[in-house]
Structure formats: C-alpha cells, structure tokens
Amino acid sequence: MTGGTVRRVSAEVRREQVRARYGGIASRGGCCSSGGSSSDCCGGTAGRSSCGSSSVARQLGYSAKELSGLPDGANLGLGCGNPTALLALRPHQVVLDLGSGAGVDCFLASKKVGPKGHVIGVDMTPEMVSKARENARKGGYSNVEFRLGEIEHLPVADGSVDVVVSNCVINLAPDKGSVYREAFRVLRPGGRLAVSDVVATRPISERDRADPSLWSSCSSGALGVRRVRSLLRQAGFEQVELDLKTPESAPGNLPDPATIGVVPADIRATRPGAERR
C-alpha cells in the first residue's frame, strides 16, 4: 500500500495468509504455548491476553466437564463461543465442523451424537488436520474424521449432514457467501446451522480489511449483522437468528471491541424441509 492507495487482496493470497498464521499456531501447540504470544491468539492483543486463563473458556461457554475430557492439545484457545451448545445435538446425527482446527468442537459433538453418529471436521491448514487426527487417535474418537479442504468448497456430499457448526472461522473466509451456500448444500432438509463468529458493529475500512494481520486475527474480515442475514437468506436458509454479545463480554482472546468494533455472536439458521428423525 503506497501513496494512500489500498490494494485489494486476492482470495488466494488471503487464504495463504490465514493458512500460514494457523499452521504456525498448530505447530507451536496453540496461542498459549511456551513459544507463542498473546498476539498469536485469534485477535489477542497486548493487555488482553487469555493465555493460561481458564476464565476465557468459561466465557466461551465451555463447561469444566467438557474441557476436562478433551485430549491434550485439542483446545488451542482460538474460538469465540461454543457452537455445540447452541442447539441440542442428538444420537445418530451427522455433524460437520467448518474450520475444525485441532478438533475441540468435533470431539464435544462426538460425545453427543454417540457411536452411531458421525462427525466430520474440515480445515484448510495441513498442520491443523494432522494435529486433529493425532488428537482423535489419542482420544479414541472412532466416530470422528478430519478432511483437508476449504470451507468455500467443502469435500462433503450433498444432503449428507444434519448439523453444521463453526467456531470463529467464517470471518476468515474471503467469500462468506460461498461458505453459506456450501453449508446449505451439504445439509439435509430440516438441517441446522449453528455458528459462533464475530460480527462488525460499525464499518471497517478498506485499509483495515487489506491488513493481513487484522484479517487473520478474527478482526477485519467480519461482516455486519444485515450482511450476514442477507447472505444466509440468499443461500436459502430460513429462521435466521443472530444474538450479539456485549462488547464487555468479549473474551480476552478476541480483539478489543473498541479498536475495530467486532463482537462475538451466536448465529443459527435452518434449511427448509422436514428434519430427519
């Protein structure tokens, strides 16, 4: 960026920037590892580090029981909510996690859908997929699998999933419309979407959107509420609900809302049709 001109960043460059950041986090073992720093967290900044603090996990909605049963290294401190708690997962269901990271939400969903259910995690970062597969092996999760792929182009069959979840990842995607269309495609009629993500409470400048550090730290890629609702409805979803958290409740692993104006939100939507029983 020179002379006051902001260069547009291509989708592929954007993906490579995000992939590099989270590949590094996976290799180090998380934003709170000995080799990491608060700025390695998804939006963590000086003065708001969540490293070493169990209170952040509580803010995100995880219970002590849920966290205690996870394999070491599954929870990297990168989320902004607990999407598996946004709806009642049932035995036998098939659940898909968009941007599954090291597997934390997949493993929580695994216990809820039971041995006759199935959980699929998709992540575009090879290091994350490798880490998640190793965590699944260590934890004995036989009903969970992890696939390498982009959430705008899911390696999942049409109409094969009952529930789609995602945790602070869709804001990182260059084409959110494609993400929601893909989620709609893979859901069965009556299937549900449950997403924890960040949304923008005020306009974000093109300069901030072009900043790779801001985008990849769950900041400048966020969209406003109206835009999120519009994209979900354009994809075909109904019963669209967005519940914004207050700026004061934003956990320490996210950007300070005062700096760029993004806050966590719970997003729910349904694909029309009769739900499978």
pLDDT at 34: 39
Q: How far apart are CA 251 and CA 32, in angstroms?
A: 14
Q: What residue has token string 């789609």?
A: 164
Backbone Cα Rg of the chain:
17
The least confident of 99-103, 230-234, 272-276 is 272-276
Q: How far apart are CA 264 and CA 274, in angstroms?
A: 30
Strand-pairing partners, residue 94, are 118
At 146, which helix (H) or strand (E)? strand 144-148
pLDDT at 55: 57
Please state, as a whole number, how many other Cβ atoms lie within 10 Å of the Cβ of residue 41: 28
DSSP, residue by residue, 171-229: GG-S-HHHHHHHHHHHEEEEEEEEEEEEEESS---HHHHH-HHHHHTTSTT--BHHHHH
Q: Which amino acid, one-letter code, is at 151?
A: I
Tokens at residue 49, please?
A: 């580090």
Q: How far apart are CA 264 and CA 200, in angstroms?
A: 9
pLDDT at 57: 66
Please check the confidence at residue 42 and state whether its pLDDT lies above 60: no
Please check the confidence at residue 221 and state whether its pLDDT lies above 50: yes
Strand order in the sheet with 118-123: 144-148, 118-123, 94-98, 161-167, 187-200, 262-270, 238-244
pLDDT at 69: 83
Mean pLDDT for the stretch of residues 210-238: 95
The least confident of 123-127, 223-227, 253-257 is 253-257
How many residues appear in the chain?
Answer: 277
∠162-193-223 over CA atoms, to 5°? 155
Q: What is the pTM of this model?
A: 0.90
Q: For the chain, give the mean pLDDT.
A: 87
Strand-pairing partners, residue 265, are 197, 244
| Domains with residue ranges and CATH for the chain | 11-270 (3.40.50.150)
Q: How far apart are CA 11 and CA 163, in angstroms?
A: 27
Q: What residue has token string 């098939």?
A: 94
| Predicted confidence band of residue 18 (pLDDT cuts 50, 70, 90) | very high
Please check the confidence at residue 43 and state whether its pLDDT lies above 70: no
pLDDT at 56: 63
| Predicted confidence band of residue 51 (pLDDT cuts 50, 70, 90) | very low
Q: How far apart are CA 141 and CA 49, in angstroms?
A: 31
